[in-house]
């Protein structure tokens, strides 16, 4: 699964029948996390969480497949593939500054806040 921003939406495309998509169909909650390889988090870290639902709009699927082909050469046009659309319900970013951990948290409808941990 490789997330894409398409038409101002977070989309999660993939092959049909994967375990990840079966899990999302059963329980739509997800957390998308950056691939952290630095244990010191010197480059920071981020995650999004929310709810994902199957995108059933055939016009959206067609437009996405066309754009994916135009941008990457990957041709899923006319093929069956799964596409989940995500509703983001929160996000956070972590940075290490001056020996402390700064966690910026965002939730819809609330002011962004920063939590400092020493």
Average pLDDT over residues 80-85: 91
CA–CA distances in Å: residue 93 to residues 2, 25, 46, 79: 20, 27, 4, 36
Task: Round to whole Å and give the CA distance between 117 and 100.
Answer: 6
Residue 64: pLDDT band (50, 70, 90) is very high
**71 or 42: which carries more pLDDT confidence?**
71
Average pLDDT over residues 98-109: 91
The overall average pLDDT reported for the chain is 91
Q: pLDDT value at position 17?
A: 82
Task: Round to whole Å and give the CA distance between 86 and 99.
Answer: 35
- pLDDT single digits (tens) 35-51: 777 777 677 889 999 99
For a pLDDT cut of 90, what percent of the chain falls above it?
A: 69
Average pLDDT over residues 76-103: 91
Q: Which two tokens stand for residue 38?
A: 């630095």
Q: Where are the domains of the chain?
A: 4-117
Superfamily grouping for domain 4-117: Electron Transport, Fmn-binding Protein; Chain A (2.30.110.10)
Whether the predicted pLDDT of 2 surpasses 90: no
């Amino acid at each position: 699964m490789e997330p894409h921003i398409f038409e101002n939406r977070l989309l999660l495309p993939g092959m049909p029948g994967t375990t990840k998509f079966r899990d999302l169909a059963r329980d739509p909650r997800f957390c998308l996390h950056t691939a952290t390889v630095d244990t010191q988090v010197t480059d920071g870290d981020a995650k999004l969480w929310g709810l994902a639902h199957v995108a059933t709009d055939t016009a959206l699927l067609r437009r996405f497949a066309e754009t994916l082909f135009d941008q990457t050469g990957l041709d899923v046009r006319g093929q069956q593939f799964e596409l989940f659309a995500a509703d983001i319900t929160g996000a956070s970013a972590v940075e290490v500054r001056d020996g402390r951990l700064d966690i910026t948290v965002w939730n819809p409808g609330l002011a962004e806040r920063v939590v400092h941990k020493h």
